Structure 1
Amino acid sequence: MKEPTLVNIQRGGLFIGDQPTRLDRLAGDLSARLQADDPATPPTEQRVYIRADRDVRYGDFMSVMNDLQGNGFYQVALINEEL
């Protein structure tokens, strides 16, 4: 079974898995990663998981969500981790 693709939002940066990216490159980098992981399924039809550190500002989180949706990524799930 394929490992889920995780977008991790941290106060110090934005990552796809453990690879750093930037908001202006997120959609392209994510598409490339998803295409490499599963070439048979279009990237925008694959599920993406988002996790944000507790100290990430809400506006920064929403910028990531809006960018993903604006680029056709609607299969987005949020990861909630209890402390």
Structure 2
Amino acid sequence: MARVTVEDCLEKVENRFALVLIAAERAHQLEMGVSDALVPEDGDKPTVIALREIAGGFDVANIAANEAAKTNAAPNQVTIIEDAE
């Protein structure tokens, strides 16, 4: 199995920051069993599988949005908890 590089993924995603968000969301989906891997798993961790999917040209950003819509949640939603002082 050839190594996946950030440069391979950046050919498919607009910038590094978007890559991090998309790969993290997809890796979380794979780890939680929300959807199956689009590439052979080969014993790799979810983060590597997510990056391989992105480098392979799969539109994993839309998978994240579709799965979030099914659960009525926003993809990449962050909750900020303020300290009560």
- What TM-score results when the alignment is normalised by the length of structure 2? 0.26
Looking at secondary structure, tell me which structure has more strand per residue. 1
Q: Which has the larger radius of gyration?
A: 2
